[in-house]
Structure 1
Amino acid sequence: MPTPDLMTAELTLTGRITTASNATFLGSIGEVEVVYKPIAGESPLWDFPHGTLARREVAAYMVSQVCGWDIVPRTWLRDGPFGEGMVQLWQEQDPVQTAVNLIATNQVPEKGWKQVLEGQDEDGQMVALVHEDSPALRRMAVFDMVVNNADRKGNHILAMTDGHRHGVDHGLTFHSDHKLRTVLWGWLGDPLTAEERDGIDRVTEGLNGGLGRNLADLLSVEEIESIATRCARLRLEGRFPAPSGEMPAVPWPLF
């Protein structure tokens, strides 16, 4: 069967993700499974301009591609049953893997995992928020700093069978004010690796070329300039930063 034109072939809805805060649908374009988020279904927010989340998701994909880390699945804008929206290739994650978890504090592994925080669950038991200590997740944490991700929840990280880690749900990104809220704080203060520095540099270079031109259709001039500022700060400091500002350092809920 020929591959459908993902921009123009009919987008058929097959279900809805009811736990999402914005209208989010499962669908298909021919045999290709996708996620569809119409702009008309975006909920108003106090700190992000209304009707811009879909474009921010596409911008996140573009930055991910320039980084060279394939964090964000292919994402684009197109028309659909409820108007223009973001469409993203569906990813079938491994049901037996998890990159982020809440576990009892006395069960935190000594190796291979990073503890972010601890607290009490609804039964009063002490639990810890942990995430795996892997190069793939480190790259995602660096990516989130570059795009200023205000909503990196645990279930926004898809653990794939081959060990790859995809990040999804990037509508709350690219604000010109500091907004970083993430569950991936485990490397606080650690030096950036050469690979991580190279990814940041590719974004900086791209902003002066094709990436900058493409983002101009999706983000404001101030938001694009703030990407360059964050990249320069990361390269100057050369390490994973600590939380800052008055906003919470982690999103809520965590998952």
Structure 2
Amino acid sequence: MGFTEMEGPALDDATALRLLRDGVMEVAGRLVEASNMTLYCTIRNGEHTAACVYKPVRGERPLWDFPDGTLAAREVAAYEVAAATGWRIVPPTVYRDGPFGPGMVQLWIDADPEADLVALMRSRNSALRRMAVFDAVVNNADRKGGHLLPLPDGHVYGVDHGVCFAVSDKLRTVLWQWRGRPLPREAVSALVRLEREIDKGRLGRRLRELLVPAEVAATRDRVRRLTETGVHPHPSEDWPAIPWPPV
């Protein structure tokens, strides 16, 4: 990317969220390959300093198939769902004001530069299998290989969730290797928790703040359908199964 990596101890998620919410941001550059305005920033708050990604709402391009709300709010909603699973799929993410107005602010993750993304996205990696379940829940329309951030310790983060939560089926991903297979037991347990949290818990309240009611209802329905079928979904016949470009 050409940016200087931030040095210092790794932040736990709670500390990272406080830093992202309350820290002072300074724009260091722009990620020019992104389709919407995506800024690389430093953020500081007392003893803590980190790098982050800032996507202001004013830099979003309108999308005909996502007419309601903002892409930034969808990114935050994706983090909330991921956090509720306990799988740490999405880096800490908040919605806040910034140098160019309100937007999404997400902790920058330094992916393993030696990782082979093509090999990873074709693998049966258990972290990717959790991500495939997560993508089915949020109806991710753009899971490219380049949106995977593998770490040297084996953990894999996913980023760029602005085109999630559509009411109609738009799942488009490179992670179809488990299609039709039974869901792992841990995934079923996570889905049961998600349904309960959407119906009666904090997750439902947060999603109603970030999404329109029809999208929240559709998310609950997808969770319920996955729990009832007990299998990874198959690609839709009405929508391209793989995003372009795939990496």
- TM bucket (normalised to shorter chain) is 0.7 to 0.9
- Which structure has greater helix proportion? 2
Q: CA RMSD in A?
A: 1.7
* 8 A contact 1:71–1:165 mirrored in 2: yes
Q: Partner letter of residue 216 of structure 2? A: I
For 1:60, the aligned partner's letter is A
Structure 2 equivalent of residue 109 of structure 1: none
Give the counterpart of 1:52 among 55, 70, 74.
70
Per the TM alignment, residue 6 of structure 1 is displaced from its structure 2 partner at its CA by 3.0
Task: Give the structure 1 partner of residue 242 of structure 2.
Answer: 250
Q: Which residue of the partner structure matches residue 88 of structure 1?
A: 106
Match of 1:18 among 16, 32, 40: 32
AA matched with 2:101: G
- Residue pairs, 1:26-105, within 5 angstroms: 26-30=40-44, 31-49=49-67, 52-98=70-116, 100-101=117-118
1:57 Cα offset (Å): 0.3
Write the distance in 2 (CA, Å) between the matches of 1:66 and 1:163.
21
Paired residues for 1:68-217 under 5 Å? 68-98=86-116, 100-101=117-118, 131-208=122-199, 209-217=201-209
1:173-210 deviation line (CA, Å, top 9, x unaligned): 01111110000001111111101111111110110211
Structure 1 stretches of at least 4 aligned residues deviating more than 6 Å after TM superposition = none
**Cα distance in 1 between the residues matched to 2:154 and 2:23:** 32
SS of the aligned residue for 2:132 comes to: helix
Identity between Structure 1 and Structure 2 (%)? 50
Q: In the alignment, does 2:203 pair up with 1:226?
A: no
The unaligned stretches of length 5 or more in structure 1 are 103-112, 114-129
1:51 shift after superposition: 5.2
Q: Highest CA radius of gyration, 1 or 2?
A: 1
Residues 247, 216 of structure 1: CA spacing in aligned structure 2 closer, same or farther, 3 A cutoff? same
Q: CA deviation at 1:25?
A: 0.5
TM-score (norm 2): 0.88
Q: Which runs of 5+ in 2 are unaligned?
A: 1-7, 9-14
C-alpha separation between the residues in 2 aligned to 1:138 and 1:169? 18
Letter in 2 for 1:242: H
Residue type of the alignment partner of 2:241: A
Alignment: residue pair count = 227
Q: Which amino acid in 1 is paired with 2:89?
A: I
Other-structure match for 2:5:
none
Contact 2:20–2:93 under 8 Å retained in 1: no
Q: Distance in 2 between matches of 1:97 and 1:239?
A: 29
